Structure 1
Amino acid sequence: MGGHLSHLKPEQHSNVFVASCGPVRGNLYRHGEKSVDGFLGIPYAKPPIGELRFRKPVMADVWSKPRDCFEYGPRCPSSGMFYEKIDLKNQDVPDEANCLTLNVFRPRWQSKEYIKRPVMVFIHGGGFELCASRDYCDYSLTGTLPLKDVLVVTINYRLGALAFFSTGDETCPGNFGLWDQTLALKWVQKHIASFGGDSNNVTIFGQSAGGVSVDLLSLSPHSRDLFHKFVPMSGSAHVPFAIRTARNQLNVSLEYALNKGFTGSGSIELFEFMKNLPVEKLLERTGFEHSASGMVSFGPNLDGDFFPKPLEELRSEASKKPVMIGMAEHEGLLFAFTDPHFTTADEVLKKKIAAEFKEDVVDNPAKVRQDIFEYYMNFNRESDEKKLVAYTGDSIFNAGVILAAKSLATHGNNVFFYVFGYCNPDGFGPIGGILPFKVPTHCTELRYIVGEGVYSKFEPSETDLKMLEYMTTTFSNFAKYGMGGYLSHLEAEPLPDILAASCGPIKGNSYRHGDKTVNGYLGIPYAQPPIGPLRFAKPLPADDWTDTRDCTQYGPRCPPSGFGNEKGLLVLPDVPDEATCLSLNVFVPGWESKEYKDKRPVMVYVHGGGFEVSSSREFCAYSMSSTLPLKDVILVTMNYRLGILGFFTTGDDVCPGNWGLWDQTLALKWVQKHIASFGGDPNNVTLFGQSAGGACVDLLTLSPHSRDLFQKIVPMSGSALCEFAMRPAKLQAGVFDDMLPRLGFTGSGSKEKLEFMRSLSWEKLTGKTGFTYKQSGWMSMTPNYDGDFFPKPLDELRKDASKRIMMTGIAGNEGILFAFTQLSEPHSNYSELLKNWIALDYKQDNMDNLESVRKEIFDYYTKDIPKDEDTMMRRTAEYVGDSLFHTGQLATAESAAKYGDDVWFYKFDYCNPDGFGVVKDALPYVAPTHGIELRYLFGDGIFSKFEPTEEELKMLDRFTTMFANFAKYGNPNETGSSKWEKYDPSRPGRHFRISYPDCEMVDEYCGGNWKFLEEIRKKNKCFQANVYGKKL
């Protein structure tokens, strides 16, 4: 085997480096203009022999004479059934006494970003019975993560019987391998600063059994506060081999001792026998097999010490951390076909199921095994081999990793979930000869993180090197920043004082930004749980409380559903909760305002997501606190019901719908009632939102139930006059009529429909069913013209509404994001794609002379232009942007101005082309598009982690100043400036172009296409019914 740089040899330093553990000499690894120092084989524990065998490790003494740290320390001795079956050839000789060592790799150049560098600690896998840190070529490893400006530590820990032997009681409780890892982390906390590492920014990561260890370390009170972020890869506390009960581990340990010649009885005799067993006896392969479930003999157990409580309780108690967790796409391939006694796939499948499910883990194992076998054999896969791979991966890794992601998210951690789906089919070496196909499997990702081949020597292709660059960047970015917002790597401090808010006493967070702080109160309930008779009903205000409420974590998201959810518009691992999702968050400047003596202006944000997905928790709290609140305004964000739960209607008085809008209205009433106790001014409230959130903001401006609860509005990239914003009640009820049979409804009538929908669990309601709908429009679950929230057509309501100040606009190229990523209909070229989009927007429900209108639109967008693919691609993106956003947003500005509102109209025309992340791969070109402005408003990435350049930070300051000025004064211009002119209906399309370094007033708006589409909208029956009350 070997790493991709294993042919190189490091230079040995003669200079002595004075570390706090003692003076050391190390290696120099050169990589072009950069170099990395490596200090190998540093002892972190005293020899675990004699009285320290089967005992917690003791920290190594510091030393005074220089120690040569040029070579890896010896591996720890292996033992157990997994060790017996996996014969790793030509391994070096282990050494029980001297194996507890670690290795430090540090960048040698002066960092431009850090005084103390972030630290990444890697825990190797090997089924708790095999492997060592020395299995990773040191030269290759230094060519990966350390070149990303992080310090990397790798460790050894005891394995097999020496690490996890247990008598099931206090005589020998086991888990010594985990105690070793914990001591290594204590060593890092104590000594890593002397190597230039930041002990307050430590990320632990591990793969397979190393991934299990990482997750378990995050749970134990003995270890969980020794690091700040973690990455369990292809392993977690929930995989079946992660942990046994103490009794079951005792049984395995006893079987092993009997195999080695034990003839006594009782815990003390058993302990003494194993304590005195020569290490050579442990290394002997005797054909040992245990009778318990699972392929690993020796592993962690619920000992009552390292794990003083059940794991789920420990998870709920642990401090919240950023977590990146995932697996390879086909984990099971590596294990499915490597059995030397392989017969046929279905027979091996039976054998593997039998090995995993025995009497120690399930009742009625015969029936459970048969059920599992039948499920996988009947599963729609191409071959028995693939069924075997699916079961093997699901049972050993996949199910447990997914369960861990859900558990972590449920308990408040920020979770980033991945599936690794890349491999080079030429990189499997000899093992490739026994595999029926070659796909990403267990350990594949390691070569792209540490440069080591695992199955074979890593000889990277050009594509492999690009993947290595991508993976090491992703992992180092997580270690540096924690993903998400640009300040998501920072942790809030608990506020020492309780806020006596008028809703009840609350405990919040403090977010520090230089000499300013912002206080955050998260997850405040504003409504009673919308369940039982309150499902599909107007929300009721939450009761006030008297006991202090912990408001340091975001509340759960509302369950998503609808066509966008079916298509995976936004897939996140945290678990939603219907009962407790109606919460809001308040961010309050923590200093005394010079401008506002008692009450600051308030800005209330309504998130987007097509009325079906997303939540307020998508925005990193620390990053958000550094944006608008630093401009001396109070910021409120909210959740509201989504999809079916937010917009289900029977089209009549039985269930009129629009529940999500009623939720938003109640949140605004909460602001009016309670925001003064947070220091906010209820008479100076600005409501703003983006996309579907922008449409909601404009709709709330029109309804007599909500329009007097705020003073200024900012609908961004969405408004009441965007065609996606609303359907007539009858047509929206038709969308749900298409869905009901998929949920099992067989009745008739509105009352039966409502009763049926209330009877279903939210999991059933929001599960994916393959739902499609025949109505026009890209969104399935939308507000409807119900006669209650909207008692008149929208144009009449606009006319009736009290006059207010509006700022509204679009991103420069709204359609790019949607045109090439959101339509699943097949197309062979961009002309076909354009036709598909037109066909989606205009169907028989909203258009007479359908084919003629579709042709008219297609001809308009394709006439007098070259018909090459690049031009057609750009025209398709123009049409999608024009039809979804551009035309409706301008129409809203015109309508508001016509009825007396002051309007400020803009186009956001700035982006960093490197800020699109993986979305960039799906786009034929990049430009400012839908959602891009949010990163400069909230400091969060949207498409990818926000890692702002110096110029982007200037744009963030500019954009937040505009929004804060609008909220404070009703004018977004900088003080003393009049560069941005108010919207003038006599000059339609004239707008303020927001960019960097220059902003300017521009007359040309979206190529004038809006004029053509305005004429088409006059023929749109649904639009005319909603806006002007015309009969369908």
Structure 2
Amino acid sequence: MSRLSWSIASAFLILFNNVLASESDLLVKLNHGGSLIGTSLKSSSGRQIRSFLGIPFAKPPVGELRFKSPVPFPPWQGERNATESGSKCFQTNFFVENAVEGSEDCLFLNVFTPPVYRIPKGGLPVMVYIHGGGWFCGYNDHHFYSPEFIMDKDVILVVTNYRVGVLGFLSSETLDCPGNFGLKDQVEALRWVKEHISSFGGDPKSVTIFGGSAGGASVTYLMQSKTTEGLIHKAIPQSGTMFSQWALPLHKGLARKTARNLASLVNCDNEEGDWRNIIECIKNVDGSVLTAKSVELSEWNGFPYFVVQPVVEPSHPESFLDEYSREVSMSSLDIPLLAGMTSGEGLMATTGLLSNEKLLNEVKDDISKKFPLMLGYDHWDEDKQKTITKELENFYFKNGHNYNIKDHKNFTDMFTDSMFLYGFDDYLKSRLSAKAAPTYVYIFDMKTEHSLSKLVGGGDNYLGVCHGEDMQFIFPLHKIVFGETSDLKGNSLIMKEVMLELLVNFASYGNPTPPGSRFITWEPATKHPWNYARIGSIDGDGFQILKNEQDYASDRFKFWRSLKPHNDANNNQYKNKIEL
């Protein structure tokens, strides 16, 4: 054989062996004996991503399993294809009016890992992402929550579905339909991770849960629930906590009222309020119909945004949360925490109003009705609502209601503080008042060419760092939102590397800037008022990566602590435990 022939044969043999190795890498045997056949994707730098998609972790919650706790998916024999993401859970499309998408057979998760040769003997840290969507939408599809950014790092990524909307969070506040089914799905996914992630090269003793918006609130709920003991080792809640005004019904009976309203919409209500028969009737209504009808539970322009949410359940063996979290000691204080939010969270709510003159005038002409509805204090009596509204006007609108798309900071700050910042501060205050594990706090203040405020109504106007803006540096969401040809450039490309390194460092070491980090030391918060790291800069010419700061919006925190508009109305307090 000539030297050329030998070289060609050797090259072919190497290529053939690599193909065989790659195929064997994509076959994973789970601890129950069944196997998964995955597929290969590429990270943004061209690294191989071993991808296992559409893995069922619980039985389809249909028929008698609707409005029940998830049941673990049974073991199987032989090989199962895992090359496509499973269906999203039934939900309305946020951008298409009255469009219902998905299925009730939706309890799937996706697992992404580096190539086998990059996985050490002890396994890699595991990061489990819980999507947001206001409890009514969101899903784990690998095109939307693509792993291509995170999998440039040596971690295992898991992205899970959970039931949303009325199928995930409807509650009669009785054992007939106790609620929190979506949160219980998240727990079941974490149990699956503990049992099986070692088969993929993950370390089940190093699991970090992270999520944004309702996903962030879910992270803190999972930390608080007794059902997650031993499942969580670090946590990253972003733009949401269980103290956010939208994360729990504002008083006992509100969830029950919502359930009665839905029952009436589908002809399942009865005069006696017999919940057993009401829920049995609702179980026979198609899931897509229930989801479509739930849109009618909002009152004006989609407000309130959150018509269903987590609840305090009656105490029973399967309860996720049976105590009002503001009235009991905070759990999981031994778990290191990295919590953050953007500087303009309220743009999620205000951009659509500011860009629609008719809607904006409706707000200005009727603030006595619109403010309580939009800002979550319409559960008070009329006199109390008027008092709160007057206080808000005195604090935010000293110069009158002259806000518009060119001058909106006071208007947007009011929504930011009501929906996000007050609850964020309250959560940190509770945690830091006790002896807690290291707690890192950030304010994301990065101006980017792919501003989400432009998508939801800003057009060519740059309005600020919108809710969810930090997530596009962790997942390539800009490609979904602005098109495949869009890309991060300049400072945004630098920020992607910054965010990934900080979060993966935290998942690996419990510290975003461990010894040897290329960044300045991010100082943990130790007391209230909390210190924080400002990440990025709203001024593109004065770009900064990370800066330790103190006293963020302290005057606004003080105002909201005195106002307390989201506390329960008189004589209707939540008790530590809901009575049957």
Q: TM-score, normalised by structure 2?
A: 0.76
Question: Taking structure 1 as reference, are residues 331 and 193 closer, same or farther at Cα in structure 2, changes over 3 Å only?
Answer: same
Counterpart of 1:461 (choices 484, 489, 492) is 489
Shift of 1:461: 1.5
1:401 aligns with 2:424: yes
User: Which structure's CA Rg is the greater one?
Assistant: 1
1:575 is matched with 527
Q: Which protein has greater RCO, CA pairs closer than 8 Å, 6+ apart?
A: 2
Question: What SS does the aligned partner of 1:309 have?
Answer: coil
Shift of 1:296: 0.7
Aligned residue identity for 1:343: L
CA contact (8 A) 1:74 1:93 kept: no
Shift of 1:283: 3.5
Question: What SS does the aligned partner of 1:110 have?
Answer: helix
1:247 aligns with 2:266: no
2:37 is matched with 25
CA contact (8 A) 1:76 1:94 kept: yes
Question: Taking structure 1 as reference, are residues 410 and 286 closer, same or farther at Cα in structure 2, changes over 3 Å only?
Answer: closer
RMSD: 3.4
* CA-to-aligned-CA distance 1:526-579 (integer Å, 9 cap, x gap): xxxxxxxxxxxxxxxxxxxxxxxxxxxxxxxxxxxxxxxxxxx998644369xx
Equivalent-residue separation in structure 1 for 2:124 and 2:60 (angstroms): 30
Question: What SS does the aligned partner of 1:169 have?
Answer: coil
Aligned residue identity for 1:575: K
1:280 aligns with 2:297: no
Counterpart of 1:411 (choices 434, 441, 444) is 434
CA contact (8 A) 1:239 1:399 kept: yes
What is the count of residue pairs matched by the alignment? 486
Shift of 1:918: 3.4
1:754 is matched with none
1:121 aligns with 2:128: yes
Aligned residue identity for 2:306: V
CA contact (8 A) 1:217 1:224 kept: no
2:572 is matched with none
Unaligned runs of 5+ in 2: 1-21, 516-520, 533-543, 549-580
1:49 is matched with 62
* CA-to-aligned-CA distance 1:83-113 (integer Å, 9 cap, x gap): 7xx33479894111x2000000011153376
Equivalent-residue separation in structure 2 for 1:90 and 1:271 (angstroms): 24
Equivalent-residue separation in structure 1 for 2:366 and 2:161 (angstroms): 34
Question: Taking structure 1 as reference, are residues 485 and 343 closer, same or farther at Cα in structure 2, changes over 3 Å only?
Answer: closer
Question: Taking structure 1 as reference, are residues 435 and 161 closer, same or farther at Cα in structure 2, changes over 3 Å only?
Answer: farther
Equivalent-residue separation in structure 2 for 1:113 and 1:379 (angstroms): 61
2:113 is matched with 106
1:353 is matched with 371
Aligned residue identity for 2:398: N
1:230 is matched with 235
Shift of 1:269: 1.8
Equivalent-residue separation in structure 2 for 1:38 and 1:361 (angstroms): 50
1:262 is matched with 268
Shift of 1:25: 1.0
CA contact (8 A) 2:503 2:512 kept: no
Q: TM-score, normalised by structure 1?
A: 0.44
Question: What SS does the aligned partner of 2:340 have?
Answer: strand
2:322 is matched with 308
Which range moved further: 440-449 or 303-312? 303-312
Aligned residue identity for 1:215: T
Counterpart of 1:318 (choices 332, 338, 345) is 332
Equivalent-residue separation in structure 2 for 1:425 and 1:187 (angstroms): 39
Shift of 1:255: 1.1
Aligned residue identity for 1:151: I
1:75 aligns with 2:92: no
Equivalent-residue separation in structure 1 for 2:469 and 2:77 (angstroms): 42
* CA-to-aligned-CA distance 1:469-523 (integer Å, 9 cap, x gap): 1111111111011117859xxxxxxxxxxxxxxxxxxxxxxxxxxxxxxxxxxxx
1:329 is matched with 343
1:176 is matched with 181
Counterpart of 2:395 (choices 353, 356, 375) is 375
CA contact (8 A) 2:165 2:291 kept: no
* CA-to-aligned-CA distance 1:27-85 (integer Å, 9 cap, x gap): 11234562111101000001101111000001001111211111110010026xxx7xx
2:16 is matched with none
1:146 aligns with 2:174: no
1:366 is matched with 386
Question: Taking structure 1 as reference, are residues 302 and 196 closer, same or farther at Cα in structure 2, changes over 3 Å only?
Answer: same
2:557 is matched with none
Question: What SS does the aligned partner of 1:334 have?
Answer: helix
Shift of 1:204: 0.3
Shift of 1:310: 2.6
Within-5 A mapping of 1:936-947: none
2:167 is matched with 162
Question: What SS does the aligned partner of 1:24 have?
Answer: strand
Equivalent-residue separation in structure 1 for 2:367 and 2:116 (angstroms): 53
* CA-to-aligned-CA distance 1:892-928 (integer Å, 9 cap, x gap): xxxxxxxxxxxxxxxxxxxxxxxx98369xxxxxxxx
Question: Taking structure 1 as reference, are residues 66 and 352 closer, same or farther at Cα in structure 2, changes over 3 Å only?
Answer: farther
Counterpart of 1:423 (choices 447, 453, 462) is 447
Shift of 1:294: 3.9
1:839 is matched with none
Equivalent-residue separation in structure 1 for 2:23 and 2:389 (angstroms): 59
CA contact (8 A) 2:53 2:84 kept: yes
Equivalent-residue separation in structure 1 for 2:493 and 2:115 (angstroms): 23
Question: Taking structure 1 as reference, are residues 347 and 312 closer, same or farther at Cα in structure 2, changes over 3 Å only?
Answer: same
Unaligned runs of 5+ in 1: 1-11, 488-568, 578-612, 619-915, 921-1032
